Structure 1
């Protein structure tokens, strides 16, 4: 009789545990349905640098195609040109990208002298072309899951007036 009572008590606990697991799995599944943010480089302004480094303020337009706002408290950015690291930057900027909205943010990036030399050597080795492949990667920090990653890639086309200078 004593063992039958223990079995009866454990059945409601099993039911609660099963329901809890089902809700947890449903919650995790709904988190993975976020669309990736869209990013466009919309500006590049020079900043003062130190020594041989170059600094720029990269202006990014971040579009949020999701039904919930993205709150962030920092941003990290990496830029590659010709499949080689070129510039990196971080900012402790805080903000929010509204649901189905967009925001423009500015991130200071540093281009090391080594990166400039590497790109120049690529031009001297016969790699110049009318367009340069680029990749932008980054992360909006914050939120429950640690942030939102983004990336964009494409080709930068040189104006016709500069193509003859190669």
Structure 2
């Protein structure tokens, strides 16, 4: 009876290892999404908060469609948190395709004051660094995290004749 039990345990172990291998191939490595900030539009706010709609261009360089059913993001400027937002929007980013997703964000009065204080040293600086981080929710194994960094350049003032 001991030999039978050992055979069943080894067979079970082999089945578990095969199942884990199948799961790994099912949820294989994906290339990271490419996220670009493409718009920032004012929205109605309440009290001392400012509201904006952030527009993100999400590019999927993978051979699989990315399904999502929610998005969360944080926006930092000059290394300081500025805005955060969530949306229960759902949809798909096609394989080797792209989609623009809108997310409402809030800027607290404290965050706005902190940013203004940082800029109070003179005229607006060119090249203010920003960072966006967040996630596209897609269920237990489908959540995709993203991060994008860039520089905000203000338009040059128009010279008056």
Shorter-chain TM band: 0.7 to 0.9
Counterparts in 2 of 1:14-93, with a 5 A limit? 14-25=10-21, 27-28=23-24, 31-93=27-89
Q: Which moved more, 1:24-33 or 1:47-56?
A: 24-33
- Structure 2, unaligned runs of 5 or more: none
TM-score using structure 2 length: 0.87
Preserved contact between residue 53 and residue 103 of structure 2 (Cα < 8 Å): yes
CA distance in 1, matches of 2:47, 2:16: 59
TM-score using structure 1 length: 0.84
Specify which of 118, 130, 143 is matched with residue 134 of structure 1: 130
Alignment coverage as a number of residue pairs:
159
Structure 2 counterpart of 1:109:
105
Query: How big is the alpha-carbon RMSD for the aligned residues of Structure 1 and Structure 2?
Result: 2.3
Which deviations, in whole Å up to 9, do the C-alpha atoms of 1:51-100 show, x marking residues without a partner? Answer: 22111111111111112111111110110000000001111111111111
- Structure 1, unaligned runs of 5 or more: none
Runs of 4+ in 1 over 4 A off after TM superposition: none
Preserved contact between residue 67 and residue 142 of structure 2 (Cα < 8 Å): no
CA distance in 1, matches of 2:74, 2:52: 13
